[in-house]
Every structure is written in structure tokens, then in C-alpha cells.
């Protein structure tokens, strides 16, 4: 009997699901966008009710498309973009909209924690910088600003944890997501620091139970089976961070493996087994958390620019009505049309530089107030110049972290494997190769995170002996080598990119102060 496995991933801009067989073949794939809600400066939310609605729709869709018998589906796993926060009441229903990873509202809580707890203490416990987006910081924002709602919280979950709860009735948190709770999550001991939780006023009872990524945490309930089309009793794995899922799916299973996603955020990950690196001077500038493969002992360092592929989605949604209409009428991707407009623009975009900080920035500058800057715009420049300059700006932002990791000596296995999202653009891939000055390849199978989730479900349930199957199934295509001449030119632009930020970073704080004044 063939064994089937289902994976489902929730990103910043939409959800994806796939169904595979026990030979790793993708038999069905589905995707659905959902809206980002930005009603206040610095806020970024989703309608949390949509998560389960979309999950049910996508799971039913892949089962139907694959013509799979639900009785032959051996396991399910979910992943999500992190940090995220879904607070639910005693009926497991969302209390408010969900926080997604671009939410930057809790700056007052960060200052309070710095004053009352201390940045260094938080870092030594969590291995995570004290910033305004870990789950505990957002929980404390809820406590201060919406105390009535805070009092109703039964569980504080990630997006994938919410899906797992709806599937199984069990509130679970895998190790790779637990790191994104920050503040009082002890990365070394893989547990919550109950003393610190008591100090800041968070009841441990609202926190999910901790598991390895590879654990089975429960089975599909009768109610969830009715809503999703899965069979009641189907095992559900603990889950994983979405970038882990994507990289596992493309074969990143060994120390030093090096992959990149250009989804809503722009990031790359390097797999390692050094807890010390997480706490090093370079490590503290990055995001570090457990990796799915042996999640008790393996880590991944993930530099992240807050708006990667989201920058191009922003250009599409805000300034590209003609391209969107052409997609509707002709079926040609609006993204492909934007790429086409930028095809003949030379490296450096004829002197146009963009700081792509549309919702603040993470590594390595960690500036919540940073915003986008267009520098050097002239009448010579076209929309194609803006598209290419935005791609180059994202590449500069990612390279800013890569050069620090490279110089720190962390083991890196080349080539760099590009995976999801904007990686489909040959132009963007070549930009990254040239800026990073490394060879790159493209993952041939780009079912991405839900594919990695399906593999995780297979390992958790014993369908697969180990994650080695992911490496054996992974194929790469479209190799690209960097150009030394283009790299040299890009480094000139990169130095100017850094100078521009240095010149305006103080002004970002002033802008935030003025922007947050009461409306007239």
C-alpha cells in the first residue's frame, strides 16, 4: 500500500500545501494568498480566523487533486513564518488578529524589559536579541495595552501551533519555534525560565507543551477530520519553522549546508551544531534557532532582511496595476512582466540605490525604525530600474550579514542553493551570485516548505528512517557563477548603501517620533 504524507505551510503572504507519496513525488500542490493588514504604523497582522479556513480548503484540495484515499495518509505536519503570535481563548478561538513577523509595535515593552530585566540577561538566557517581535514581547504588549483580552488568553501559539491545535486539540510548540518566543525561553536547556516568567508576569499555563520537531504530538480529531477531509486518527508531527521546512525539502541536512529563500522576507540559513556560535559576537547579530534535523542538537543561523520578496509584491500591488491586469486577462505572471521591464537595466541600476527596509530591519542592523529609502532617482530611471534596484537592495541587505558570518569562519558548503519565492527570477539569482561572490544553484523541486513538512511527517511517523531521503531526492539546476567584475562594481555600490544608512539612521528615529504624533 502506498503511503501518503501531507505538509502545510503558512507564510507571511499566503499558505501552501502539498501531498507526496513515500517516494517523495509531489502528487498535488495548492497555494492561496491572504491579506496583510497594516492599520497602524508598525503593526502587521493577519485575520487569524482565515488560517484554519484556508488550511481546510488547501488540505481538501490536495487530497482531491491527488485522488488520495485519506486512510492511506500516514502523517501531517505544519510550519509557519516566525515570529508569529495567535492568542486563543478557552474555546481555541482567536481573541484578536494574529501578529505576523513584520509587526513592530511593541517598542515600549522593549524599553521596559531593558530597564527591568536587562538586555544581556535576556540574551544569555534566550540567545535572542531583545527586540520588539518575539512572542513574549508581544504578549507583554497585550498585557499592558489590552488587559481585558490578555486575561482571556488560554494559549499563546505560533501560526503552525494554532493549526496543530485545530487538528489535534493539543497545544504544542516545537523547539525550532520556541526560540522565537525569546526573553524567557532558555535555548541551552530547551525550556522556559519560570523564574523570569514570574518576574514579567506571564503565567506558564498559557504556554504550549514543548516537543522535538520530529515528535508526533497527537492525531487528527473527529471534528478536524470532518473539516479537512483527513481521516480521524492520522498522526500529526510537532512541526518546524517555515525556512527549516523549505531547506529540508531541498536537501539541507548536513552541517554547513547553505540555502536561501526569497519569500516575503529575504533570508538564508547555514546549518551547524555549535551552541557557542549562537552566543558569539557575530551570532548575537543573527537569528539562531534549532534545526529540524536532530532538533535537540542542531542549529541554523539565519540572517534575515525583513522585506525580501515582499518588496517586489509591494511594487506589484501598489504600482503595477497594468501588469496585474495583464495577468488577469492573459494569464502572464505580473512578476514575470516586472522582471521583463528590468531585463535591460545594468548592474547598479544606473546609480539608483534602494534601502529595502519597508517594515524596519533585522540582521545585522536591528533597526525597528528603519524605512525604505530611494537614493539617486532621476528622470533617466524607469519602473524597470526601480524593480532591479529593489532586488539589488535586498541582496545588499542579505550580504551585509553574510560577510560577517563568512569572516567569522562558520563552515559553509557551496554552492548556495536558492529555493522559494523570488528565487524563480534568473535575474535576481544572478544579482545574488554577483553580490555574494559565490556560485549558486536553484532547487529543481520548489514545492518548498510544505514539501519539507511532508518529509518531516514521514520521519515522525516512521515512513522514512531519517531525513537522508531529502538529500537523496534533492536536485539542483541552473548553476550560476559570479562575475568578478560585477562583484567589484556591486561592492562599490554596497559601500554607498552602507553610508546612506549611516547618514539617515538617526533621522529614522526622528521620523518615527513625528509619525506617531496624534493625527490632526
Q: Looking at residue 134, what is its pLDDT?
A: 85
The gap from C-alpha 18 to its chain's centroid, in whole angstroms, comes to 18
Domain membership of residue 143 (yes or no) is yes
pLDDT tens profile 24-53: 999 999 999 999 999 998 899 999 999 999
Mean pLDDT of 334-343: 96
pLDDT bracket for residue 56 (50, 70, 90): very high
Domain count, the chain: 2
Q: Which residues 6+ apart lie within 8 Å of 35 measured at CB?
A: 46, 47
Q: Which DSSP symbol is given to 404? A: H
Nearest of 2, 13, 73, 81 to residue 312 by alpha carbon: 13
Q: Which DSSP symbol is given to 437? A: T
The gap from C-alpha 216 to its chain's centroid, in whole angstroms, comes to 23
In which residue are the cell numbers 562599490 written? 492
Q: Is pLDDT of 420 > 90?
A: no
Q: Is pLDDT of 193 > 80?
A: yes
Which of 217, 243, 269 is the C-terminal boundary of a domain? 243
Q: Looking at residue 338, what is its pLDDT?
A: 97
Cell numbers for 89: 481563548
Residues 280 and 133 in one domain: no
Residues 32 and 111 in one domain: yes
Domain membership of residue 473 (yes or no) is no
Q: Looking at residue 516, what is its pLDDT?
A: 80
Q: What range defines the domain where residue 291 resides?
A: 251-444+483-520
Strands 258-262 and 240-241: unpaired
Q: Which residues 6+ apart lie within 8 Å of 383 measured at CB?
A: 319, 320, 338, 341
Domain membership of residue 52 (yes or no) is yes
Domain membership of residue 179 (yes or no) is yes
Average pLDDT of the chain to the nearest whole number: 95
**Residue 350: what are its φ and ψ, rounded to 5°?**
50, 45
Domain membership of residue 61 (yes or no) is yes
Q: Looking at residue 446, what is its pLDDT?
A: 76
Which of 218, 243, 268 is the C-terminal boundary of a domain? 243
DSSP string of 462-494?
A: TSSSSTHHHHHH--EEEEE---HHHHHHHHHHH
Domain membership of residue 366 (yes or no) is yes
Residues 23 and 89 in one domain: yes
Q: pTM of the predicted model, to two decimals? A: 0.92
Determine which helix (DSSP H) or strand (DSSP E) holds 255, and give its type and residue range: none
Q: Looking at residue 41, what is its pLDDT?
A: 87
Q: Is pLDDT of 224 > 70?
A: yes
Cα 149 to Cα 57: distance, rounded to the nearest angstrom: 29
In which residue are the cell numbers 502572464 written? 332
Report the CATH number at residue 97.
3.30.420.40
Domain membership of residue 457 (yes or no) is no
**Within 10 Å of residue 73's Cβ, how many Cβ atoms?**
24
Residues 287 and 416 in one domain: yes
Q: Is pLDDT of 6 > 80?
A: yes
**Residue 64: what are its φ and ψ, rounded to 5°?**
-65, -45
Q: Where are the beta strands (DSSP E) in 11-112?
A: 14-21, 26-33, 45-46, 73-80, 86-88, 98-99
| Three-state SS at 382 | coil
Residues 145 and 290 in one domain: no
Cα 348 to Cα 389: distance, rounded to the nearest angstrom: 7
Q: Which residues 6+ apart lie within 8 Å of 434 measured at CB?
A: 347, 482, 483, 486, 487, 490
Q: Looking at residue 131, what is its pLDDT?
A: 80
Percent of the chain with pLDDT over 90: 92
Cα 426 to Cα 111: distance, rounded to the nearest angstrom: 43
Q: Is pLDDT of 80 > 90?
A: yes
Determine which helix (DSSP H) or strand (DSSP E) holds 375, and give its type and residue range: strand 373-375
Nearest of 335, 395, 398, 348 to residue 375 by alpha carbon: 348
Residues 237 and 255 in one domain: no
Residues 426 and 283 in one domain: yes
Domain membership of residue 264 (yes or no) is yes
Q: Looking at residue 290, what is its pLDDT?
A: 97
Residues 232 and 255 in one domain: no
Cα 140 to Cα 106: distance, rounded to the nearest angstrom: 8
Residues 229 and 310 in one domain: no
pLDDT tens profile 248-277: 999 999 999 999 988 888 999 999 999 999
Residues 344 and 273 in one domain: yes
Count of H-run helices and E-run strands, the chain: 19, 25
Q: Is pLDDT of 515 > 80?
A: yes
Q: Looking at residue 132, what is its pLDDT?
A: 65
Residues 437 and 357 in one domain: yes
Residues 279 and 194 in one domain: no
How would you label 449-468 residue by residue, b for 16+ Cβ within 10 Å and e otherwise? bbbbbbbbbbbbbebbeebe
Q: Is pLDDT of 419 > 90?
A: no
Amino acid at each position: 500500500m502506498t503511503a501518503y504524507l501531507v505538509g502545510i505551510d503558512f507564510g507571511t503572504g499566503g499558505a501552501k500545501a502539498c501531498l507526496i507519496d513515500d517516494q517523495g513525488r509531489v502528487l498535488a500542490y495548492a497555494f492561496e494568498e491572504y491579506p496583510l493588514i497594516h492599520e497602524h504604523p508598525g503593526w502587521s497582522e493577519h485575520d487569524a480566523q482565515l488560517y484554519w479556513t484556508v488550511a481546510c480548503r488547501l488540505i481538501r484540495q490536495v487530497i482531491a487533486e491527488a485522488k488520495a484515499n485519506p486512510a492511506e495518509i500516514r502523517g501531517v505536519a505544519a510550519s509557519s513564518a516566525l515570529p508569529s503570535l495567535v492568542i486563543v481563548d478557552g474555546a481555541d478561538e482567536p481573541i484578536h488578529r494574529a501578529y505576523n513577523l513584520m509587526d513592530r509595535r511593541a517598542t515600549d515593552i522593549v524599553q521596559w524589559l531593558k530597564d527591568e530585566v536587562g538586555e544581556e540577561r535576556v540574551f544569555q538566557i534566550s540567545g535572542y536579541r531583545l527586540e520588539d517581535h518575539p512572542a513574549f514581547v508581544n504578549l507583554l504588549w497585550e498585557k499592558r495595552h489590552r488587559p481585558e483580552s490578555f486575561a482571556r488568553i488560554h494559549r499563546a501559539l505560533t501560526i503552525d501551533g494554532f493549526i496543530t491545535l485545530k487538528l489535534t486539540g493539543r497545544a504544542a510548540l516545537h523547539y525550532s519555534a520556541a526560540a522565537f518566543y525569546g526573553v524567557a525561553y532558555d535555548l541551552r536547556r530547551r525550556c522556559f525560565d519560570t523564574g523570569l516568567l514570574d518576574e514579567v508576569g506571564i503565567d506558564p499555563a498559557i504556554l504550549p507543551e514543548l516537543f522535538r520537531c520530529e515528535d508526533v504530538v497527537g492525531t487528527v480529531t473527529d471534528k478536524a477530520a470532518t473539516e479537512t477531509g483527513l481521516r480521524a486518527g492520522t498522526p500529526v508531527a510537532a512541526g518546524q519553522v517555515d525556512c527549516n521546512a523549505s531547506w529540508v525539502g531541498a536537501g539541507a541536512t548536513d552541517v554547513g549546508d547553505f540555502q536561501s529563500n526569497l519569500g516575503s522576507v529575504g533570508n538564508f540559513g547555514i546549518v551547524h551544531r555549535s551552541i557557542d556560535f549562537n552566543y558569539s559576537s557575530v551570532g548575537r547579530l543573527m537569528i539562531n534557532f534549532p534545526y529540524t534535523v536532530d532538533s535537540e542538537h542542531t542549529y541554523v543561523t539565519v540572517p534575515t532582511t525583513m522585506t525580501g520578496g515582499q518588496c517586489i509584491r509591494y511594487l506589484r500591488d501598489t504600482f503595477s496595476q497594468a501588469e496585474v491586469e495583464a495577468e488577469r486577462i492573459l494569464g502572464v505572471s505580473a512578476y514575470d512582466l516586472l522582471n521583463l521591464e528590468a531585463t535591460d537595466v545594468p548592474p547598479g541600476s544606473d546609480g539608483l540605490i534602494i534601502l529595502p527596509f519597508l517594515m524596519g530591519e533585522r540582521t545585522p542592523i536591528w533597526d525597528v525604525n528603519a524605512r525604505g529609502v530611494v537614493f539617486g532617482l532621476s528622470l533617466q530611471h524607469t519602473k524597470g530600474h526601480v524593480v532591479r534596484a529593489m532586488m539589488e537592495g535586498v541582496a545588499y541587505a542579505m550580504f551585509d550579514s553574510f560577510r560577517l558570518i563568512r569572516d567569522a569562519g562558520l563552515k559553509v558548503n557551496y554552492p548556495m542553493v536558492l529555493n522559494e519565492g523570488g528565487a524563480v527570477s534568473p535575474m535576481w539569482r544572478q544579482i545574488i551570485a554577483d553580490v555574494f561572490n559565490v556560485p549558486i544553484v536553484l532547487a529543481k523541486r520548489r514545492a518548498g516548505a510544505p514539501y519539507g513538512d511532508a518529509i518531516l511527517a514521514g520521519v515522525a511517523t516512521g515512513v522514512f528512517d531519517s531525513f537522508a531521503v531529502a538529500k537523496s531526492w534533492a536536485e539542483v539546476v541552473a548553476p550560476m557563477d559570479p562575475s568578478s567584475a560585477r562583484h567589484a562594481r556591486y561592492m562599490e555600490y554596497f559601500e554607498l548603501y552602507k553610508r546612506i544608512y549611516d547618514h539617515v539612521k538617526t533621522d529614522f528615529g526622528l521620523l518615527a517620533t513625528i509619525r506617531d504624533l496624534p493625527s490632526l
